Chain A
Amino acid sequence: MGSTSSTLLKIPNAEVLMQETGFSPAHIIRLHDRFKALDKEGRGYLCPQDFGAIKELAMNPIGDRIIGAFFSPGKETVDFSTFVKILAHFRPVDKDRPKEPNSPEPINSRSNKLKFAFQLYDQDKDGKISRDELLKVLRAMLGMQVTEEQLESIADRTIQEADLDRDEAISFEEFRKSLEKVNIDHKMSIRFLR
């Protein structure tokens, strides 16, 4: 594991990161420690293999998709600032912090959280969850218990539920509408990132 604890000074552009993500210095330091621990060869960036080494993540049925979310298309590596920015999606929304009128939308806003979830489904990045894409996720999550026909009918039904414009796919707008009543702030937040 990380031999020496990081300090803020060692982390490149920590100030900017804190500004963008809303993390406290303690969080940044802790995440940097973790980043270094994952980055076993000390290259300063992470490869998919580094994530794959996390044992629990290997058991996660949609783990590979989540790992994939860290890597922007075409890239094989992720550096620290991207790493933090991805994790910032899961920072709980803080109500007391005054909202500056002209500040950009924070990373942990509702729609950004939803976007993150959406892109896990939408693997071909066409802005729509097609039936096949949905089926893949469902197959991973439901596991062995359900037969292929059932999976298909569940997928059909799910699409049909959300599909407002009848194009047999779920666009982001439809995705958001279907989850209108769900408390995303609650469900997509990790307490210790507060």
Chain B
Amino acid sequence: MFFAQQKSMMAFLQQFALLALLIVFITSCKAETLEGDSVEVGHNYSSKSSATEHTSTSINDSTDGHAPSEISTLPIVTWKWHHIETPYLVALWILTCWLCKLVCELNHNVTSVFPESGLLIILGFILGGIVWGADKAQTFKLIPTNFFYYLLPQIILDASYCMPNKLFFSNLGAILIHAIIGTCWNAATVGISLWACYEGGAMGTLNIGFLQFMLFGALISAVDPVAVIAVFEEVHVNEVLYILVFGESLLNDGVTVVLYNVFDAFVSLGGPKINAAEIIKGIVSFFVVAFGGSFLGVVFAILISMLTRITKNVQVIEAGFIIVLGYLSYLTAEMLSLSAILSITFCGVCCQKYINANMDEKSVTTLRYTLKVMANGSETMIFVFLGVSAIDKNIWVWNTGFILLTILFVVVFRFIGVFFLNWVLNQSRLIPIDITDQFVMAYGGLRGAVAYGLAALLDEKKIPEKNLMLGTTLIVVYFTVILQGITMKPLVQWLKVKKATNSDLTLNGKMNNRAFEHILTAMEDICGRMGDNWWTRHWKYFEDRHVCWLLMKSDAKKHRDPIFGAFHKLNLEDATKYVTEGECKGSLSFIRNYESTSVDFKKKLALQYADIDNVPVTSVMKNSIPSVSLDIHEQDRKSTPDDLSAHHLLDQHLYKSRRNNCPTYSRNHYNTSENPDEMQEIFQRTMRSRTESFNSPKMGFNPVKKLSKHPNKDSTHKLNGKPADPHRTHPYGDGDFEISAASASSGEIAGHFHRRSTNTHGAGVDNPAFIPEIDTSPPMRNPPWQTETGNNAAVAPSQRAQGRMPWTPTNLRHLAPQRMRTRSTDSIVTADASLDEKAPEEKPGKHHTRL
């Protein structure tokens, strides 16, 4: 324990030293540029150093970089820092920020208490300090343009694309009320009460008018989705609470930006010019901007969905279309001065269903992961830069009264607003929102980068006290993200907030959900009233009739069906489990070993798939996991001519690729014991192939094999902590043995099978890679045998294969016990996850796809 901790500490220190070095490097690069510029071109130093962010230096680069002095001789290599300065610095900063995340994730003891976002901000402080120390000025800051155009869009797109659609729309009313009314309430009350306190003399003399206070109130009321997601993803609250907080923070941003713009316009208009007409215009503009942005998003969603209907031939870049068009929806809205955030939000939310149905399953996965990488990456950068930006002498104007009162009002009015709105909502909700949920909702009002970005956007000419506002915003951000972030988890536990129940995906659940919907609508019809189900049903009807016709491939419709989708997913899960389990135990070797078997297998598979997906759904089903892994082998096999050398080549290839995997697989667990075994295996294998080449009877080395294998097996049983019950741990191996014994007609074949079964016993733990090679080598070298074993094997393992095939409807009875068993072994595997690498690999993936 202690050692492990120390190790992680060491790693932490190492990483940190690396980071510090990087920063020093960056700043020195920067400093060099500055000096170089001032020397070479005689550029104005001061204007250069006030360039706010790294990308903004690019304007200068284009002029400086291409000023080659006259050369006397041909240079072999030249130092071209100016050419690459900007992208280089950007890339270095991205790297630094991501390394920060790495550092944060090193020690799980810390992250379990301290939210990652807070840690990133603190690391940002340190980095900022280093920059400050090296440069004596803050040369790197988060400037609003970069934030709003390059960092924010992907986060919002990711959040909206991964939004649980049904949940979102069924709670849309509550979310909208919180986002619109709640935000206006916060903005107004914070602004007014700050102004009142100022008038009352709580802050000394400041050059802030009423409208400026209102503007500040508007920008500080932005509940930040980035911060909220970062904190709430670690605390698994129940889904309704989650969607309320998440959806609210997402839409609330858009509303805040709109409010901000309205008040900004008022401020520039100046107090005296504002009359009733202007105020009405402001209100109208609020609604036009907000709803116009949302509408634009829906239009783009329709465009995207229609586009994905025809991108089948360019599957490689299919996912890119969505990202680009989503970004365009953001920029277009910005261009039309509509709400860009709302636009991209609705774009993501609305198109997700159709593009998921239209696109290839692989493209969907690609899109998901790309978005996740981009969103997480920029989220990390935002938090780090929130920290870095703070280390700047210029922005800090301290006014205790203003800052403390802001924090107080922000928190208090948030609570009042949330409780009041929830009270109103609860009057008509079927399932009322609990008081604890309300409390968490109010407490989850974290402010973040959007507020900071808006504050940084303030115009110093119009608002003389910009720096005070900026500083206060930063403090509010730190207060909410760090303090509330830390206390959120204990609070949720202490209040016993209902956590998310991870319900299993079951066909029963899906089917009955559907049945319940029908029953409810029928009852509403009988009662003759329009209830909630009336709307959902009519929307569904409309969607089926018109929307799907327009936006969805005709063959993709079926996959939308939840019951069928569940069925499909369950089958995929089974198949994956089947394959992984088979790989663990080495029992899938029969697929590779016996050509005729696998052909049979393949036929069966094709038949099943033809049944299940009714052919038109070509890409989606055919490329699903099981068929891929099996298909590739199959295709490889088909493409190779049936002569022995090619076959041998293939097997060699299979062996190698798997062997490459194996060390990472097992080395961790069997550090000392594994490697000698492996060596011995290789040795034995080569020895055997040599003996085989002499055509000697293979019974000769069988005992050797057994001797080497069995101790190994025992030891691994101990290591794994699994019960040493062969029926449980090696179901395939034993089945194999029985079948082979039953179908054995000649001694030779029996011997062969016998050996095979012993191999699979051991292979379950130590090294599945060797089994195919060992098994296939004899038939290869011995043509007469191959035909013999081939014929027999065609019967025996294929039966087994069919028996184990999860998706065979006629064989479902066989499946039942197998599923039970898979579950039980799986639970063991996940329990000691450190022993089996497969489990941790699989879990995060699942987690992500279910987001």
Contacts and interface: CB of A to CB of B under 8 A. Distances in A.
A186 B512 contact: no
A160 B506 CA distance: 11
B507 A158 contact: yes
Interface stretch (A3-11, A102-110, A177-185): A177-185
B567 A190 contact: no
Interface string B368-391: 000000000000000000000000
A146 B518 contact: no
Query: Helix, strand, loop or mixed for chain A's interface?
Result: helix
Contact of B508 (A37, A60, A87, A161): A161
A90 B809 contact: no
B812 interface: yes
Contacts of A190: 520, 523-524, 527, 531, 533
Interface stretch (B142-150, B556-564, B726-734, B788-796): B556-564
Interface in A69-100: 87, 90, 92
A193 B531 CA distance: 10
B612 interface: yes
Interface residues of B, number: 47
A188 interface: yes
Interface in B813-835: 813, 815-816
Interface of A: 30-31, 34, 37-38, 51, 54, 56-57, 60-63, 66, 87, 90, 92, 116-117, 120-121, 137-138, 141-142, 145-147, 149-150, 152-154, 156-158, 160-162, 166, 175, 178-179, 181-182, 185-194
Closest CB pairs A-B (n = 3): A153-B809, A178-B508, A66-B522
Contacts, number: 144
B527 A87 contact: yes
B717 to A, nearest CB: 31
Nearest to A153: B809
Contacts of A60: 518, 521-522, 525
6 contacts: A117-B515, A153-B567, A158-B507, A161-B507, A192-B527, A193-B527
B509 interface: yes
Contact of A179 (B509, B524, B527, B558): B509
Nearest to B506: A161
Given A146-B564, A157-B507, A181-B504, A90 B523 contact: yes
A150 B515 contact: no
Contacts of B518: 60-63, 66, 141
B428 interface: yes
B319 to A, nearest CB: 27
A92 B426 CA distance: 14
A142 B614 CA distance: 15
B527 A31 contact: yes
A193 B527 CA distance: 10
Contact of B512 (A30, A63, A117): A117
B572 interface: no
Contacts of B528: 34, 37
A178 B509 contact: yes
Nearest to B428: A191
Given A142-B563, A157-B812, A186 B508 contact: no
Nearest to B515: A117
Contacts of B525: 54, 56-57, 60
Contacts of A162: 508
Nearest to B431: A186
A192 B512 contact: no
B812 A156 contact: yes
Nearest to B812: A156
A160 B816 contact: yes
A145 B809 CA distance: 18
